[in-house]
Amino acid sequence: DAGVIQSPRHEVTEMGQEVTLRCKPISGHNSLFWYRQTMMRGLELLIYFNNNVPIDDSGMPEDRFSAKMPNASFSTLKIQPSEPRDSAVYFCASGWEGTGDRNEQFFGPGTRLTVL
């Protein structure tokens, strides 16, 4: 299995530009999570999907952030317009959510975003 795939691995953009991050979860997993990691705030959950449906987006910082999961094998996180304080590593993770499971999450390699 290829694991969780994220693209791009690195993104450098200018303030005000739109940024789209992509994720392909592990085949067979029914849950997908978007996290953001910074030195100051650590690892924070932004949003998660179960069976392609957004379950909890309370971690999405502002309306500038949006996420979609059009099918079981693809998700995007979009920032429009981007700001320098959005600079962080964005991780996508997938897992199997079910009764009695230990619910391990498998993380992708992350996208390192720098907004100038």
Partner 1 sequence: RKEVEQDPGPFNVPEGATVAFNCTYSNSASQSFFWYRQDCRKEPKLLMSVYSSGNEDGRFTAQLNRASQYISLLIRDSKLSDSATYLCVVRNQGGKLIFGQGTELSVKP
Distance in angstroms (rounded) separating the CA atoms of residues 72 and 15: 31
Q: Which is nearer to partner 1, 35 or 65 (CB)?
A: 35
Q: Rank residues 65 and 91 by Cβ distance to partner 1 and give the closer one.
A: 91
Contact between 43 and partner 1 per CB under 8 A: yes
d(CA 83, CA 64) in angstroms, rounded, equals: 9
Q: What does the block give as tokens for 101? A: 């499971």
Q: Is 100 in the site for partner 1 (CB under 8 A)?
A: no
- Direct distance between the N- and C-terminal alpha carbons of the chain, in angstroms, rounded to an integer: 36
- Say whether residue 45 binds partner 1 (CB under 8 A): yes
Does the protein bind partner 1 through residue 55 (CB under 8 A)?
yes
**107 sits near partner 1 (criterion: CB under 8 A):** yes
The dihedral formed by the CA atoms of 94, 21, 90 and 9, expressed in degrees to the nearest 10: 100
User: Which one among 23, 26, 69, 108 touches partner 1, defined by CB under 8 A?
Assistant: 108
Q: Tell whether residue 25 is a contact of partner 1 (CB under 8 A).
A: no
Q: Is 97 in the site for partner 1 (CB under 8 A)?
A: yes
**Residues interacting with partner 1, by CB under 8 A?**
33, 42-45, 48, 55-56, 91, 97, 102-105, 107-110
